[in-house]
Structure 1
Amino acid sequence: MRFIKKFIITLFVILLLGAGAAGGRLLWQGYQIYQEVIDGEPLSDKVEEIRSKPKYTPLSQLPDTYKNAVVAVEDKRFYKHGGIDLISTGRAVFINLKEKKLAEGGSSITQQLAKNMYFSQEKTFLRKVAELFVAFELEKNYTKDEILELYVNTIYFGSGYYCVYDAAQGYFEKEPEQMNDYESTLLAGIPNAPSVYALTNRPELAVQRQRTVVECMVEQKYLTREEADRILQEGEQIQQAGQNNE
């Protein structure tokens, strides 16, 4: 019953996405694409393929601060919604209709995982619909923690790092579980725009993004104000030390 309810909500969202653009046809074509990718490589096979990679990092080996930071900045209602954050999606739909193009995503962590597993980065209404169907398939078959674990093992962190293990090693020369609070919050902000926030490009922009991450964590009570200030102060000290060494 719960899944049926989610499915009905999905159809409603899809029709909204397709308003003014033949929503019914969009729904059917998106479903066909979903069926093609799932038939080509079943979800369970795709998940096992990801989990079998040598650098796959279980959620239990990630710092709590990192996990909380990812949820806080990427999908604050992740543990409450069924694959689609209707509030974020509604806002995105409004912007998209206003701009008459897919300018805003509003994607949940589950939707981003669906995209990473089966689709390209191309922004089209049709791909978005297919992505929604895959997202619900993920929610039906896997727990939230399993989805989050798969997500951090498939997202891009810039500089050629395609999983949290590679990013922790590449940026900090550490195992993921060894990251401190400063590193955890810094890393959590990068996937939003890897080409912009990669630490090898313009680290000052990554630090600006980190402030957003930390503020989100305070807002959602993952951190106290004092803890947040400590993390940000540590970042300022690191930056100052780097400038002194130049």
Structure 2
Amino acid sequence: MTKLFVVGTGPGHADLVAPAALKAIKASTDLVAYGLYLDILGEVCDGKKHHDLPLGEEIGRARLALDLAAAGKATALISSGDIGIYAMATLVFELLDRQIQGEERHPEWLDVEIEVVPGVSAMQAGASRVGALLGHDFCTVSLSDLLTPWETIEKRVHAAGSGDFVISFYNPVSKKRDWQLNAARDVLLQYRPASTPVLIGRQLSRPDETITITTLAELDAKDVDMFTMVSVGNSESRHIINGTEQWLYTPRGYKKKL
């Protein structure tokens, strides 16, 4: 049985690529990914057959990876961050599900052994750069309405607001989507103070990383792009400043025990 590794390689820095991910890549002959991810990984990808499909070809990448593995090639389907969070793993299993339901004509896919290798997500990388923003209950919401109707996204933002979750927004802005982040901000302002701290992390752990700490009232889509992750604290999240250092954290409730 041939193996398909479904691999998350973390946010970008080589030190944040898990040993299990490196092992899976080294064990593969064929690598399927958006080309930038392979470029970032560097020499660990040398000597492998690269199958570079552009952004927007996610379904094609998943199909190709399954086809290669079914043909007997040790294959790694690679994504940045955690491949199970808004990434390629779900497509692999959706295609397998469709095959089981008789909606695909690739019975050979079902003979492929799948191993999902997790990676550090953008929200974890961002939170670590500013302290412990994810220290209590949190959730994530993708603001891309390309696959999910805005009405559903808005309902989830309301739920996160009323539940007082720390919330990390993935896919906050793109060239064609420039209003959703501000709309989500306005929803959250109904539930938590305007002074609530917000982390804006761009190109996290990569050479051109930028970290900005602002407030919910000052959050604006014009300061964000498609390479950015936004995390909004809950009503108890704290912004502390010590000289030139500043930190964000969300208390867990130890105050009564201190």
Q: Please, what TM-score do these two structures have when normalized by structure 2? A: 0.24
Between Structure 1 and Structure 2, the one with more strand by share is 2
Higher relative contact order (Cα pairs below 8 Å, separated by 6+ residues): 1
Between Structure 1 and Structure 2, the one with more helix by share is 1
CA radius of gyration, larger in: 2
